[in-house]
Structure 1
């Protein structure tokens, strides 16, 4: 248990979360919790409250005062030691420490120790932001320099502390390098610690920042296994437990999507299970590139640093400018990995997610038109499908790709967000009215950040594309990314989307993002990855301000944008419908471990079972996509429906079910035994739990809720045995 375990300081916590500084010699100071802008008084050897009088560092030749800075959650404590020079040392992050913590014992245990064959000046092994400078050669949290090569080291001194219950803000400066640092930490009852850093260039010349961490977290030496989430398109949320005995584990993603590496990790001790043992988790609230580094320190503890990934030039700060990092989140749980999931879910519900009207509504049962129709859209057929869908009890009908411009395949028309009059002669309003008349919401698919080269918008504005001028235009999925940080591009998208939302009475947008950013340079040739993310957030905010009741689902080829930063602007998309390393991605059953891995990110994930056959979409002739069966599900549609119930249920149409004028294509979920409307609310909003039902590969996951009278109920879904199609039977085998 880190510091508490080593020093024998752990005990039963008796009070509410508090921010305190205490010592045996001044018990009256234990109630000090509201200090604002309290500076260390240089030269006097004293500091303003909260202070521990007479407690001095035990280091050789040192008389600088020290103070404890403490944040408490329900079961977790962050404990810092602030000295007169340098940033605060992280003394403990983990299990809740006693309210009557003996400050003198803490100071004695954390007193400076001079290492053998080391520098004569002592520095703590881990601070809130480790810098290049002094004798520390560990992974720095700040890498910056000026054009002449100076200011590449930093040595900060605390100048002010704003210390309130649940939050701590530190201000520090480096007068030599001309830098100012503001670090904000919060810890609430959910036991999620958030950290954010702001670096200001107070010098007279530009500063180039190559790395600035959002937060640095201390992990105890008992952590032996680090779990990272990895994958690819259609196979996100793979899990790779890794042991780290020495050195560092670095996880990076540079593509502005997170299929390859979700921006987070979990850590557990030997023997930690889903529901027992100590576990830690961390994630970054950012929709761009990211970097996680776990480094084993000299004393066998671990330093975890979390930051966004900055491309060259993206951290350039002119004099007086500031760089504000995304928020990093860390959680501690004494109840295993599922405890981490519950902590992040509770925190997201309380502090991240924002809903129209201020309260989360029950997640509607959703049907998406894509898999049943692809680009083959006909208004009469869609109306019949809507009627069949409404009879089943579905609550939201989403019209997917193919409704606009010349979009009859994925080679053309993307970016031309005007209704295809050849399909919908009177626009989308009549279809939307039909959906609403059947008691459902109407949703529409967009991919606003992208365009096909074969589109009117690209032909009119080729300079809107993100590309390195003078190099070949890089396309992916036959499309380019638009520079939405340009005001004229953002204005065009806002006007176009806002017009359609109003005229067609759109309740919901599925916002897709189907390619990585490659050579993402603006018109001046500068890297634009970071500005692209900030422009996306600004565009979402504009849409929500103009249309407060509009819901946006953040999709990126499935689960490529499961990112906490977008949670209060756009609902995270589904965990991908199929997930297996078999060539054709055959089984829906592997979605269960993917959902389990994704569950600790936050509470909102959508899922829908596809048709009886998972499909891969191939490059087809000019009239659109082909689809090919890729293996029948072992458990059938009923199991797929059970999977998709958690926590936002969705269903899909099957192209294996022929469409005729007298018989519309029907949702696969009709094989279940009950209508979908009115399913118990816990299935759609409750916290979930994990368990195991031996023998393998059976497992239990579910969502639980407290019913009137105090009892808890668990909606349980069991993962059955399933088979993967052998390679010799794969329809893709040549």
Structure 2
């Protein structure tokens, strides 16, 4: 038996590899001491036998196999081209260890090779793992799991994520029990409904304390997840592409990267690892030293009603409020007056833009803003020149139900990708465009991994040709957010809902994986277009300032008082965005369930800001103290209220923060917390802190 350990900051993964079979994980948890005896670690994890069992426990390997009499779900389902099931028996073929651990296993009779790869990041604390199946002859692979890891025993629940349009990242808590919790996302994209991740909190875990394991599958197509508890009590977690994502015989199949995190500081420890890894290892920034610009998107101001006069007037107002980037959304291309026509015909509409986009772009640049443009390259309307010329480029039958009046294009088709590349790169090359909003507004007619790989290929070609252009991943809001798409983009549109109350919750839960610098958040219209709710400009602005701030409304609707408030909050964002870009988002455990609060803490620990949002009506009269986290207990911190002007007339007492700053130890702030002034539902307190 050979033992391997993989260490990443706070976590260790230990593998035991026999001479005649696949390896299995004997330990996944807090970092072991450097001299730990790995053989003893493995021995301590071996299970006893009793009645009603086989004479030996089939190992829960990195790819459980039916040939080994494993009683749970297998990690590989493979068939010959005629459909005959194959049940390989793998033996060790080779090991390679540099910065990456690679373990290869073969079944010589079937001509199959299974390879597991692991890489550890000492700075972010993430372990990345993947599995590859190679075959000497074409085979059908219905299911291939990334390296299968054990679920923790001291856990009563698991958390995965559901959602819908305008209400993404909904945590779903499920008790562990004998049997399977499975999700097989067949939509062909990451999906509002199926964020590809699971969190496994230990008993008693909170945001700020306790142990947690977490996994994220970095893939933008359909995925499958299962969490299974066997009758003997062992638990396994599997992630891979959705079942039968590769429908044709092939000689090579590979999972996406599986990102693993462990924390002994609550859910926040896992969240910080994911946030840092995405920001520092996955995203490639066109201009990494440039501050994140305040964003303006015109969609909810004008929709399809484009005119140079209206848009220049809007741009003037947006720039005066502090916007630094202007994005022209859907409706700029030939014949596009609503969402039923012209998608796929990426040439400028001469009726709306008789002189092209250059006059608008020149005006935007004259205001000191950069310019961005909306595309939806993977889709086509039935009523379009492209669909009429190339019905063969449509994915699935033309008799399928439309979604938003459109079909999906077959991104596996190289000729289609060449066509799209030519159209998009021509627009980018002939205009001064620094930003693309890349949308994806319907599910696929069927799941196919080739669709995702084709999209990745087109994005890569465009980024290679235009490395200075930033790209946002939008999919009816948050329908395609994952580490796979973020390897090709730099920003996500978290939700199509600009309702600040909805956003407060969505942003809070998305922070379990996403840093603020990639998460777009906009100040919406006074009356929200997706919920009809009306919120104060202060609440809308501060919720947007929690992430990559922008505006998405007609700024001409603002009163002078509203404009003054938005200008002030925007100025605060600009003054703080450099350190907030690399800050950790720490979710706070609020004593009042009506409070959604987080602490964004600078990488060096010298400063922080707390956003305490009042998302509902509290049951008690006075605000409960809010405890902070992640501070040096012995250090002193000066805290102050950044938005004292928002104090309500219903606050009649004298809590210290109402009148001025306080200086408290980290221990006091984390143990007793801070007493906030009374506030109304749908409002936010902003508390700034500096280490003395």
For this structure pair, what is the TM-score category when the shorter chain's length is used for normalisation? 0.7 to 0.9
- TM-score normalised by the chain length of structure 2: 0.84
What is the 5 A alignment of 1:136-155?
A: 136-150=70-84, 152-155=86-89
Aligned pair in 2 of structure 1 residues 88, 315: CA closer, same or farther (>3 Å)? farther
Shift of 1:687: 1.9
Counterparts of 1:108 and 1:675, CA distance in 2:
58
Contact 1:589/1:722, CA 8 A, preserved across alignment: no
1:222 is aligned to 154
1:202 aligned to 108, 129, 136, which one?
Answer: 136
Report the aligned-residue RMSD. 2.3
Contact 2:321/2:567, CA 8 A, preserved across alignment: no
What is the 5 A alignment of 1:369-388?
A: 369-388=298-317
Aligned pair in 2 of structure 1 residues 374, 187: CA closer, same or farther (>3 Å)? same
In the alignment of these two chains, the number of paired residues is 611
Shift of 1:602: 2.7
1:79 is aligned to 14
* Residue 24 (structure 2) pairs with residue 89 (structure 1): yes
2:2 aligned to 67, 74, 92, which one?
Answer: 67
Counterparts of 2:605 and 2:83, CA distance in 1:
65
Shift of 1:113: 5.2
Counterparts of 2:276 and 2:615, CA distance in 1:
32
Counterparts of 1:667 and 1:446, CA distance in 2:
35
Q: Unpaired segments of 5 or more residues in structure 2?
A: 619-692
1:242 aligned to 161, 174, 183, which one?
Answer: 174
SS in 2 for 1:261: coil
2:507 aligned to 595, 600, 605, which one?
Answer: 595
Counterparts of 1:654 and 1:690, CA distance in 2:
32
Contact 1:212/1:307, CA 8 A, preserved across alignment: yes
Shift of 1:298: 4.3
Aligned pair in 2 of structure 1 residues 402, 180: CA closer, same or farther (>3 Å)? same
Aligned pair in 2 of structure 1 residues 669, 596: CA closer, same or farther (>3 Å)? farther
Contact 1:345/1:687, CA 8 A, preserved across alignment: yes
Counterparts of 1:506 and 1:333, CA distance in 2:
42
Contact 1:231/1:259, CA 8 A, preserved across alignment: yes
Shift of 1:682: 2.7
2:266 is aligned to 336
2:103 is aligned to 170
Deviations 1:243-296 (A, max 9, x none): 112111112211123101101111112210001000111111111000111111
1:657 aligned to 545, 548, 557, which one?
Answer: 557
Contact 1:649/1:684, CA 8 A, preserved across alignment: no
Contact 1:654/1:668, CA 8 A, preserved across alignment: no
* Residue 575 (structure 2) pairs with residue 679 (structure 1): yes
* Residue 521 (structure 2) pairs with residue 607 (structure 1): yes
2:532 aligned to 630, 649, 653, which one?
Answer: 630
1:448 aligned to 361, 364, 377, which one?
Answer: 377
Shift of 1:152: 2.0
2:428 is aligned to 501
Aligned pair in 2 of structure 1 residues 234, 105: CA closer, same or farther (>3 Å)? same
- TM-score normalised by the chain length of structure 1: 0.79
1:432 aligned to 361, 365, 368, which one?
Answer: 361
Counterparts of 1:648 and 1:120, CA distance in 2:
58
2:120 aligned to 187, 192, 214, which one?
Answer: 187
Deviations 1:476-516 (A, max 9, x none): 11111111221221111111111111212110000000111
SS in 1 for 2:588: strand
2:144 aligned to 212, 215, 225, which one?
Answer: 212
SS in 1 for 2:102: strand
Counterparts of 2:48 and 2:284, CA distance in 1:
48
* Residue 612 (structure 2) pairs with residue 698 (structure 1): no
Deviations 1:198-249 (A, max 9, x none): 101124xx31110001221122211211111101111111111111121111
1:727 is aligned to none
1:316 aligned to 249, 258, 262, which one?
Answer: 249
Counterparts of 1:254 and 1:653, CA distance in 2:
34
What is the 5 A alignment of 1:469-618?
A: 472-518=399-445, 520=446, 529-578=448-497, 587-603=499-515, 604-616=518-530
SS in 2 for 1:262: coil
Contact 1:700/1:717, CA 8 A, preserved across alignment: yes
Q: Unpaired segments of 5 or more residues in structure 1?
A: 1-65, 521-526, 580-586, 617-628, 659-664, 725-734
Aligned pair in 2 of structure 1 residues 430, 225: CA closer, same or farther (>3 Å)? same
Greater alpha carbon shift after TM alignment, 697-706 vs 189-198: 697-706
Aligned pair in 2 of structure 1 residues 631, 109: CA closer, same or farther (>3 Å)? closer
Deviations 1:6-56 (A, max 9, x none): xxxxxxxxxxxxxxxxxxxxxxxxxxxxxxxxxxxxxxxxxxxxxxxxxxx
Counterparts of 1:607 and 1:368, CA distance in 2:
11
